[in-house]
Every structure is written in C-alpha cells, then in structure tokens.
C-alpha cells in the first residue's frame, strides 16, 4: 500500500522586493522587508476580520526548495554540526512549508501588507492564521 498524499492549493502569493533566494534573509527578523500577500479571488472572503496591527502566522510553500534533504549544516554554515532537518528551519525539507510570524501594516481589497517577510516574490501562500495570545505561537 502506498502512502497517502494530500493536495495543497495556494490561497495567494507573495509580492516582494526580494526576487531570489540569494537576496533573502534566513529569517524575517534578520532584516526582511515588508511585503504584500495577494489572496486569490476565490478565498478573499476568508480575510474578513483581519485588521491593521494584528499578528499573524503565514504559512508559505518554498516552491524552489529541495525535498530530499534529511540532514544538513544549519544556516548552510559548515562550522555548525550536521543535524536532522526537523531540528532546523531550513527551507529544504520533505514538505517545504515556511512559517512566518508577521504584523499587518495595511489591509487592501484582497491583499495584506505585512512585515517582516523573508519569502521571495512569487512564493505561494498556503495558510494564514491569527497568533493565539495564550499560546503565543
């Protein structure tokens, strides 16, 4: 019996001044710019209730990532010991999902301007969630 697979549908895309992985910081808090999330028309009603100043968790799909990496040097730094991919935040991972904590700067018609966001222009967005105040995740 083969393992199940699940289909992800992008709900939107990143529009950013960052155009390539080599330009992008490794984490949002390492100097990432603000960026826009443009939500597809079919899903825009799902943004209702999101307001300026809210803290969100944005999940992206690193469409340029490798999916066959099991161990690596964290931060691609050879001086750091090789470790399992699940103990790192590398974009190269079996399911290359990015997790970005951002603040809402403005809310447009089907779009959100947020910061900081280290994902590059064109990155698919697969989910948007509010930060829970109690759990702070």
| Contact positions vs its own copies (CB under 8 A) | 3-11, 27-29, 40, 43, 45-50, 54, 57, 59, 61, 63, 70-71, 83-89, 93-95, 97, 99, 101, 124, 126-132, 134-137
Residue 37 CB, nearest approach to its own copies (Å): 10
CA angle at residue 21 from 131 to 120, to 5 degrees?
45
Our CB check for its own copies shows the closer of 105 and 126 to be: 126
Our CB check for its own copies shows the closer of 19 and 87 to be: 87
Residue 127 CB, nearest approach to its own copies (Å): 5
Q: How far apart are the C-alpha atoms of 57 and 135, rounded to whole Å?
A: 13
Residue-by-residue DSSP string for 106-129:
EE-SSEEEEE---PPTTPEEEEEE
SS3 at position 59: strand
């Amino acid at each position: 019996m083969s393992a199940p697979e699940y289909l992800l549908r992008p709900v939107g895309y990143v529009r950013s001044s960052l155009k390539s992985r080599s330009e992008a910081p490794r984490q949002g808090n390492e100097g990432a710019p603000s960026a826009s999330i443009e939500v597809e028309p079919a899903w825009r009603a799902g943004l209702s209730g999101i307001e300026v100043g809210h803290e969100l968790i944005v999940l992206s799909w690193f469409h340029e990532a490798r999916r066959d990496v099991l161990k690596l040097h964290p931060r691609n730094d050879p001086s750091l010991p090789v470790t399992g991919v699940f103990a790192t935040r590398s974009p190269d991972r079996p399911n290359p999902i990015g997790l970005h904590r951002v603040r809402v700067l403005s809310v447009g018609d089907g779009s959100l301007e947020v910061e900081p966001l280290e994902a590059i222009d064109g990155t698919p967005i697969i989910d948007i969630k509010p930060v829970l105040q109690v759990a702070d995740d």
